[in-house]
Structure 1
Amino acid sequence: MPQPSIIWFDRIGIADVPAVGGKNASLGEMTVALSGAGIRVPAGFATTAAAYRAYLDANGLEPKISALLDAYHGQKATLQQTGQAIRALFLESEFPAGIADEIRAAYEELGRRTGSEAPATAVRSSATAEDLPDASFAGQQETFLNVRGPRALLDACRRCYASLFTDRAISYREAKGFDHMDVALSIGVQQMVRSDLAGSGVMFSIDTETGFPHAAVISAAWGLGETVVQGSVDPDKYIVFKPLLAVPGAEPIIEKERGGKAFKMVYAEGGSRRTRIVETKPAEREAFVLDDADILQLARWAVAIEAHYGRPMDMEWAKDGESGVLFIVQARPETVQAGASATAFRHYRLKGKGTPLATGAAVGSAIASGAACVIRSAADIAHFRDGAVLVTETTDPDWVPVMKRAAGIVTDHGGTTSHAAIVSRELGVPAIVGTGGASKLIGDGQDVTLCCAEGDVGTVYAGLIPFEQTEVDVGALPETGTDVMVNIANPAAAFQWWRLPARGVGLARMEFIINSLIKVHPMALVHPERASPEDQRQIRELTRGYAEPADYFVDTLARGIAKLASPWHPHPAIVRLSDFKTNEYAHLIGGSAFEPKEENPMLGFRGASRYYDDRYREGFALECRALKRVRETLGFANVIVMVPFCRTPAEADRVLAVMAENGLRRGEHGLQVYMMCEIPSNVVLAEQFAGRFDGFSIGSNDLTQLVLGVDRDSDLLAGLFDERDEAVTRMIAEAIGKAHGAGIKVGICGQAPSNYPDFAAFLVREGIDSISLNPDSFVHTVAEIARAEAGARSPAARTQAG
């Protein structure tokens, strides 16, 4: 039975890839199978592979194309000459009359279905060998937007056929071993969503940098979506924690980053141009493209689409500005992280320091170094030097041959779903995108180090900084009776370690989030009028878009905590309330107006003493609001609150009372409150503290400092500072015994178990409930803990104990 030339999306399934290619087969599959889940796909139809072959036959193109490819293989013509000649053959040819009539008739029917006489359409290429689980490469063929009228449609279809032989597509098929004449092209003709009046973007059902499977990552910009894919704009970025989407009332948006969005693509009115690029208005740049309801809706769709296909997916979405309705306009398998190991990964670490030249979004987690090769135009890519770090404003598919030869890639514009980012992942080349101006800040030929190993913010450093690469495989780690947790400070780096089989986060430092993400003293957000004029200016810049400056603190802190808590959810995440010292607080924006000068800040106005004091009480209320939000709105009920540097039981009572006033009442909504056990009084009066808290976490650094009387920051006394000193270990053993006697849990979150395997063995012998480790020492120390547990169970150990 001959194959038809036209098939409507509502008659297509994923099994029709040979007829309509991966892109169109997926659109049909979603139209048919996922409409019941509320997923909307714009109406449309596809031309078939049979129509493409009929076009070749009617115009006698196959022998001509084969001859041109033979000349290329025989090195009688360059890739550029070959591609240009083949594309000219297509553009000079005509559709067979019958197929042209079918396309015109389908276009008229699309108008009837959508209620428009001359509907605007998106005309997309869908090759029969693309968007497959093992073959997906960004931007091989062309897409044409806002195509109206049958004549313009046929012209766009002809150009789609020609784009099957772009230089990059020829190169890709050569690399994959596909026979050029075995690949056919289907064309998808789809109702245009009026995203020119709203926004659009890209969505992944997996974190594309780390492979963390429980995140939906969404990019969004104003206007048509090509600017996001091309990387010509810096889009908004949203991350949603997928498992909590099923919890009623939860809004698990764990990251919202506002992009610059300087330009947008819109419809062109009149003339031959179909689209045009215009500058966005200041209000558009300062606003988020999507509200929380839209973000959550898209994330739910990502979950449904991923579940239907049974694999992580790469999707494009668009919002209609007239109706306010969201649509999915493409979906294809994610091919990079989906194939990565769930237990083995590489960890990179810089072994030196350098001067930062530029920062942007990190693509991958590797490090690369070399001489920079600054190229501002595709016309100059022939000047690229193999093994250099490519620095440019943005890339498009024509840059792929150069990108393959680069040690690393740096762009001024684009987000983590831009062309540069997608191709860099597929090539395994580290990249930093959206730097803002790296091509002007970095000199051609300058030695640089590109680091993507410090979280989702990548940094270009001056000079060739040495680095190391470690192969980590957690698949063979032994089981331990002791709960082994991780210390995580930086939300940006949390996803890098999701493969570690940790039983939760033993220590998340709130002050790191305040210092790195918020940057402003909490009291300066409550009373900005007390800050200096320059600090007030910085506060206005950081808090733009928020009704009140304090809301910026609460929102940013809550999402930062949620991101730290997500990789090991539903295991507990113990979040320590802020423990800045006065000198550290003073360095925050606006901090000098609120902080006294102390001779010894380490023993001064810090920890619990601040929370009920009028000098900080309003700032502490913001911390409580953020914790309440992360637990009750974002849905992370696994977050445990921990009070640091609590000197007396009476002080504990005052802190717990202030927390309750601010909506954090111990036991309410399952809230547990722990205390840092780090002051000798905490051990001496452990039974009294235990009656007020649900658990202890031993802070070995401060405890050692206060037991031995050694300033932990003093270089002169570094030789005396040792957590393994008998006085310290006796205090720790006493704390463990008293906690268990009172019926509460006790763990340790200090540095010592990460640094000293024998110290970890001591903790096991004392029966500690949990040990929290730094991520980079996790694998080694878990093995030591397992050996210590085995030794404690040995006959000799039992005899000695008896």
Structure 2
Amino acid sequence: MNNKYIRWFENVSSHDVPLVGGKNASLGEMISMLKDEGIRVPDGFATTSDAYWEFVKQNNLREKIQANLDDFKRGSKQLEDTGKSIRRFFSHGTFPDDIAQNIRDAYRELCKRYRMDEVDVAVRSSATAEDLPKASFAGQQETFLNVTGEEELLDACRKCYASLFTDRAIAYREEWGFEHTKVALSIGVQKMVRSDKAGAGVMFSVDTETGFQNVVIINASWGLGENVVQGAVTPDEYMVFKPLLGRKKLKPILEKELGAKEKKMIYVKGRSGNTKNVNTARDERLSFVLKDDEILKLARWACVIEKHYGRPMDMEWAKDGETGELFIVQARPETVQSRRIAAEFKTYKLKENGKRLLAGLAIGEAIATGKACIIKSSDEIGGFREGTILVTGMTDPDWVPIMKKAKGIITDYGGRTSHAAIVSRELGVPAIVGTGDATRSLKDGQEITISCAEGDHGYVYEGVLQFEESEISLKDIPDTKTQIMMNIASPEASFRWWRLPCKGIGLARMEFIINNIIKIHPMALIHFSKVEDRIAREHIEELTQGYKDKTEYFVEILARGIAKIAAPQYPHDVIVRMSDFKTNEYANLIGGRQFEPREENPMLGFRGASRYYNARYREGFALECRAIKQVREEIGMANVIIMIPFCRTLEEADRVLDVLAENGLKRHENGLQIYVMSEVPSNVILAERFAERFDGFSIGSNDLTQLVLGIDRDSAELAELFDERNEAVKHMIQKQIENAHKTHTKVGICGQAPSDYPDFAEFLIKAGIDSLSLNPDSVIETKRHVAEIEKRRTGK
């Protein structure tokens, strides 16, 4: 039954935006075009723009609307009064008989399709100018959930019409230059997915912070999806690597972060059109909403939808708790990253340390300083002070006018797809969401610094800290014969720098993930029952909640951290160094002191390769191996190469290779390459024999300098003598390259020196180094310098 006023979703497409609005057109497009791809969209119908205009005409609203808008533009009427007056006109209006009957008839047909007397529906507003690639109208109009019965449906439709003139919608159209009286509203009536009995959320086919296009980001919480959209809860977050989704045996999930999921929205029993929020149970807060196979299914759907529309997409999904089925309930173009200029980007860096007050999810990559302005409810919005940092529980579209005037935004609740996150990205305002208690722990007027420049997590610091802002241009970067790679420790940092013209990671430090994310000594997890420190035991219990086997906590977090580092460089080589803590550093991990010897000189003691086969740490090394296997064989990052640090002798090399093989990491099996650090003089002297055991060398210039010159690299008194450019050190590096190349073995360098000293980089190029692994912020400058050196040498 399609007519002038009603269109079933299966009979509309993306070409019908003027008729049914962007939201409904997109639903129809997916139902009609993507059903064969296995994508489920709940059935339903839309009222047309003709129905809206007829409603306006029959109730003589056009002149009344225009008169109020004219008063508003002249300044004789406030926005709040304007919106209230216009909405009242719609609320008091009546549907023409034929339109009302068409809506009733369509609803009855929907009831028949679902074999229900009164089907429960979501009634959504769909403006005919919404969800354009360059403008997001998300949240501008209203949605009504759990509506049942014909009269309740008609009432909800009337409320949808009125919501075309919410204060926020009027203000938004004014800003974007849309004429109010030329924008119509279609209403989508769609079978409710019973996610009140399961979960729902939001999904993006691009990384919302960095623009990296090879991942899908999924947010999930228990109950109806409104809490996720509004930022009323801190949801689970999952990240999936798109290029490996087509391989059935792989699970390319790069991240699974458990959200607090403080509450869930459910139906109010026996009452149509009503929902309520209830606190989630403890087991719900400690459980992931989605299973791995469901995460992967949604990610595949995101890829199909993105491919169909030809652009990054922002989608809403829901899981039916009665059937267990997943559904897509909305899809629209992503409007922030798709507009970013790929040729340049800004970087921010704190120039001084400060006291961390709070942490949350970082939105954007900037830093801002200012005074906190605490606004706890929309009633207090008028008290916001322009140029301050907005601190609140959560935001909704009514808050946009003050969000524009804020230097930064901090919220207690919300994830990356919350309203606060979406709007702050559009406005280019740095935000930290989901801090938990910012409104309670910060004071109004307190001077603070918010930093979103340190990866996925943003931090609030006490006081005004100095920072620097740099602009990096990616235009006209020359190619080089020498492979340029990066040194990366943090999984978040790898995403921040994905657009740099590099080919791989020359050094990924496993210690960063262990120290900053895992935080627990692996032997304390393996032998938890023997941990004597009561405080350490409590801390371990807290961090490993949800893991029946505590060692799985170590393996899973380490694996996903490494995979996240590897993903932006896939399929280029990513060289992951196995753990290289010193004993004093291992001891500082939670529960670590009990399992570490005390050494006078840890720098030259029980570190690197010597630990891997020793009974003191062999079981801990096995966990590292399990993580590498998971990265390569389950997640699918076969571009990961492992590297052994501080390997002193050939005999030690053989013992380590045996232990690796025992743990399923046999050299050349499944394409596995194993490198060794060249940081001990014996590695240089016996390079040809080490090359029989390893596939490549990476020169660690700091440790090599320490051992060649006999200087503790941490000694302040001898700092002036410590120089990688010393003639003896350069001689050792030259010999390492020559000896390795005799056996056709690759040699790179991952030390700091090429990033700091252009003359040292020139020496390495002349010596024939195969690759330079640099700090990210020096990649562009060093690559240009290397290109000049190569050009001088070849004359081309």
Q: TM-score, normalised by structure 1?
A: 0.98
Tell me, yes or no, if the aligned pair for 1:137 and 1:426 is still in contact at 8 Å.
Answer: no
Cα distance in 2 for partners of 1:483, 1:13 equals 48
Which residue of 1 is the match for residue 527 of structure 2? 527
Runs of 4+ with deviation above 6 angstroms: none
Which residue of 2 is the match for residue 344 of structure 1? 344
**Structure 1 residue 3 displacement after superposition:** 7.0
Which residue of 2 is the match for residue 109 of structure 1? 109
**Structure 1 residue 439 displacement after superposition:** 1.1
Tell me, yes or no, if the aligned pair for 1:565 and 1:636 is still in contact at 8 Å.
Answer: yes
Bigger drift between 609-618 and 269-278 goes to 269-278
SS at match of 2:739: helix
Q: What letter corresponds to residue 584 of structure 2 in structure 1?
A: N
Which residue of 2 is the match for residue 541 of structure 1? 542
Which residue of 1 is the match for residue 170 of structure 2? 170
Q: What are the Cα deviations for residues 750-791 of structure 1, in whole angstroms up to 9, with x where unaligned?
A: 100111111111111111111000101111111111111112
Matching of residues 56-71 of structure 1 within 5 Å? 56-71=56-71
1:427 matched to 2:424: no
Which residue of 2 is the match for residue 324 of structure 1? 324
Tell me, yes or no, if the aligned pair for 1:389 and 1:408 is still in contact at 8 Å.
Answer: yes
Tell me, yes or no, if the aligned pair for 1:138 and 1:422 is still in contact at 8 Å.
Answer: no
Cα distance in 2 for partners of 1:374, 1:134 equals 32
Which residue of 2 is the match for residue 799 of structure 1? none
Q: What letter corresponds to residue 454 of structure 1 in structure 2?
A: E
**Structure 1 residue 530 displacement after superposition:** 2.4
Tell me, yes or no, if the aligned pair for 2:44 and 2:191 is still in contact at 8 Å.
Answer: yes
Which residue of 1 is the match for residue 456 of structure 2? 456
Which residue of 2 is the match for residue 439 of structure 1? 439
Q: What letter corresponds to residue 30 of structure 1 in structure 2?
A: M
**Structure 1 residue 397 displacement after superposition:** 1.1
Which residue of 1 is the match for residue 659 of structure 2? 658
**Structure 1 residue 272 displacement after superposition:** 6.3
Q: What letter corresponds to residue 623 of structure 2 in structure 1?
A: L
Cα distance in 2 for partners of 1:706, 1:331 equals 59
Which residue of 2 is the match for residue 798 of structure 1? none
Cα distance in 1 for partners of 2:199, 2:676 equals 47
Which residue of 2 is the match for residue 288 of structure 1? 288
**Structure 1 residue 494 displacement after superposition:** 1.5
1:335 matched to 2:335: yes
SS at match of 1:246: coil
Which residue of 1 is the match for residue 634 of structure 2? 633
SS at match of 2:229: helix
Q: What letter corresponds to residue 410 of structure 1 in structure 2?
A: I
Which residue of 2 is the match for residue 550 of structure 1? 551
Cα distance in 1 for partners of 2:616, 2:366 equals 44
Which residue of 2 is the match for residue 247 of structure 1? 247
Tell me, yes or no, if the aligned pair for 1:129 and 1:135 is still in contact at 8 Å.
Answer: no
Tell me, yes or no, if the aligned pair for 1:343 and 1:499 is still in contact at 8 Å.
Answer: no
Q: What letter corresponds to residue 635 of structure 1 in structure 2?
A: G
SS at match of 1:168: helix
Q: What are the Cα deviations for residues 352-385 of structure 1, in whole angstroms up to 9, with x where unaligned?
A: 1111111000001111111110111110110100
Q: What letter corresponds to residue 726 of structure 2 in structure 1?
A: D
Which residue of 2 is the match for residue 364 of structure 1? 364
Cα distance in 2 for partners of 1:122, 1:78 equals 32
**Structure 1 residue 629 displacement after superposition:** 0.5
SS at match of 2:792: helix
SS at match of 1:187: strand
| Unaligned residue ranges in structure 2 (runs of 5+) | none
Q: CA RMSD in A?
A: 1.0
Q: What are the Cα deviations for residues 738-758 of structure 1, in whole angstroms up to 9, with x where unaligned?
A: 111011111011100111111
Tell me, yes or no, if the aligned pair for 1:316 and 1:328 is still in contact at 8 Å.
Answer: yes
Cα distance in 2 for partners of 1:561, 1:181 equals 54
Cα distance in 1 for partners of 2:587, 2:428 equals 42
SS at match of 1:376: coil
**Structure 1 residue 248 displacement after superposition:** 3.2
Cα distance in 2 for partners of 1:627, 1:15 equals 48
**Structure 1 residue 135 displacement after superposition:** 1.4
Bigger drift between 337-346 and 91-100 goes to 337-346
1:236 matched to 2:236: yes
1:471 matched to 2:471: yes
Cα distance in 1 for partners of 2:38, 2:273 equals 35
Which residue of 2 is the match for residue 700 of structure 1? 701
**Structure 1 residue 250 displacement after superposition:** 1.2
Tell me, yes or no, if the aligned pair for 2:146 and 2:273 is still in contact at 8 Å.
Answer: no
Tell me, yes or no, if the aligned pair for 2:577 and 2:645 is still in contact at 8 Å.
Answer: yes
Cα distance in 2 for partners of 1:475, 1:37 equals 39
SS at match of 2:245: helix
1:611 matched to 2:589: no
Q: What letter corresponds to residue 527 of structure 2 in structure 1?
A: H
The count of corresponding residues between Structure 1 and Structure 2 is: 794
SS at match of 2:529: helix
Which residue of 1 is the match for residue 757 of structure 2? 756
Tell me, yes or no, if the aligned pair for 2:487 and 2:750 is still in contact at 8 Å.
Answer: yes
Cα distance in 1 for partners of 2:80, 2:637 equals 54
Q: What letter corresponds to residue 679 of structure 1 in structure 2?
A: V
Cα distance in 2 for partners of 1:520, 1:138 equals 42
1:387 matched to 2:381: no
**Structure 1 residue 475 displacement after superposition:** 2.6
Which residue of 2 is the match for residue 723 of structure 1? 724
1:140 matched to 2:147: no
Cα distance in 2 for partners of 1:272, 1:634 equals 45
**Structure 1 residue 247 displacement after superposition:** 2.3
Q: What are the Cα deviations for residues 139-184 of structure 1, in whole angstroms up to 9, with x where unaligned?
A: 1000111011111111111111110001110001000111000000
Bigger drift between 554-563 and 392-401 goes to 392-401
Which residue of 2 is the match for residue 23 of structure 1? 23
Q: What are the Cα deviations for residues 666-702 of structure 1, in whole angstroms up to 9, with x where unaligned?
A: 0100000000000111101111101000000000110
**Structure 1 residue 471 displacement after superposition:** 0.9
Which residue of 1 is the match for residue 184 of structure 2? 184
**Structure 1 residue 273 displacement after superposition:** 5.7
Cα distance in 1 for partners of 2:28, 2:765 equals 58
Q: What are the Cα deviations for residues 50-88 of structure 1, in whole angstroms up to 9, with x where unaligned?
A: 000000000000000000001111111100000011111
Q: What letter corresponds to residue 604 of structure 1 in structure 2?
A: G
Tell me, yes or no, if the aligned pair for 2:121 and 2:148 is still in contact at 8 Å.
Answer: yes
Cα distance in 2 for partners of 1:196, 1:251 equals 28
Cα distance in 2 for partners of 1:649, 1:24 equals 68
Which residue of 2 is the match for residue 93 of structure 1? 93
**Structure 1 residue 654 displacement after superposition:** 0.2
SS at match of 2:358: strand
Tell me, yes or no, if the aligned pair for 1:409 and 1:431 is still in contact at 8 Å.
Answer: yes
Which residue of 2 is the match for residue 53 of structure 1? 53
Cα distance in 2 for partners of 1:724, 1:9 equals 70
Which residue of 2 is the match for residue 206 of structure 1? 206
Which residue of 1 is the match for residue 572 of structure 2? 571
Identity %: 63
Q: What are the Cα deviations for residues 539-577 of structure 1, in whole angstroms up to 9, with x where unaligned?
A: 111111112000111100000000000011000100000
Cα distance in 1 for partners of 2:330, 2:608 equals 51
**Structure 1 residue 582 displacement after superposition:** 0.4
**Structure 1 residue 343 displacement after superposition:** 3.0
Q: What letter corresponds to residue 364 of structure 1 in structure 2?
A: G
Tell me, yes or no, if the aligned pair for 2:356 and 2:461 is still in contact at 8 Å.
Answer: yes
Q: What letter corresponds to residue 552 of structure 2 in structure 1?
A: D
Tell me, yes or no, if the aligned pair for 2:146 and 2:272 is still in contact at 8 Å.
Answer: no
Cα distance in 2 for partners of 1:762, 1:515 equals 35
Tell me, yes or no, if the aligned pair for 1:138 and 1:423 is still in contact at 8 Å.
Answer: no
Q: What are the Cα deviations for residues 255-288 of structure 1, in whole angstroms up to 9, with x where unaligned?
A: 0000001100001113466101011111101000
Q: What are the Cα deviations for residues 500-530 of structure 1, in whole angstroms up to 9, with x where unaligned?
A: 1110011000011101110000100100122
**Structure 1 residue 344 displacement after superposition:** 1.4
Which residue of 2 is the match for residue 73 of structure 1? 73
